[in-house]
Amino acid sequence: MGGLGSDATIETADIVIQNDQPTKIFTAINIGRKTKQIVYQNIGLAFAVKAIVLVLGAGGLATMWEAVFADVGVALLAILNAVRIQRMKF
């Protein structure tokens, strides 16, 4: 456990429970699952927007500036989507 564990154990662990309550493992698993879902959403959104801009650019409808704005916009949307995990109740 985090409160009574040695420093080497804490440094090598993936999860450290600070309050000696093993029931918090389920909370950590739920947080990990939600985080994984949000990561997949961000990856899917980024690929979709980049594919659309690529097709528009190949057709001559999108300029370099629009591609840059799309890239920055996807990055901002991914950050805002990732921030949702902090407001979730577990």
Q: Global pTM?
A: 0.75
Question: Measured between alpha carbons, how far is 59 from 24 in angstroms, rounded to an integer?
Answer: 53
Q: For residues 82 and 42, is the Cβ–Cβ distance under 8 A?
A: yes
Residue range 7-11: average pLDDT?
Answer: 77
Q: How confident is the model at residue 4 (pLDDT cuts 50, 70, 90)?
A: low
**Which of 12, 34, 15 minimizes the C-alpha distance to 25?**
15
Q: How confident is the model at residue 66 (pLDDT cuts 50, 70, 90)?
A: very high
Contacts of residue 63, defined as CB under 8 A and 6 or more positions apart, other chains included, come to 57
Average model confidence (pLDDT) across the chain: 88
Q: Percentage of the chain with pLDDT > 90?
A: 59
Query: Domain ranges in the chain?
Result: 22-87
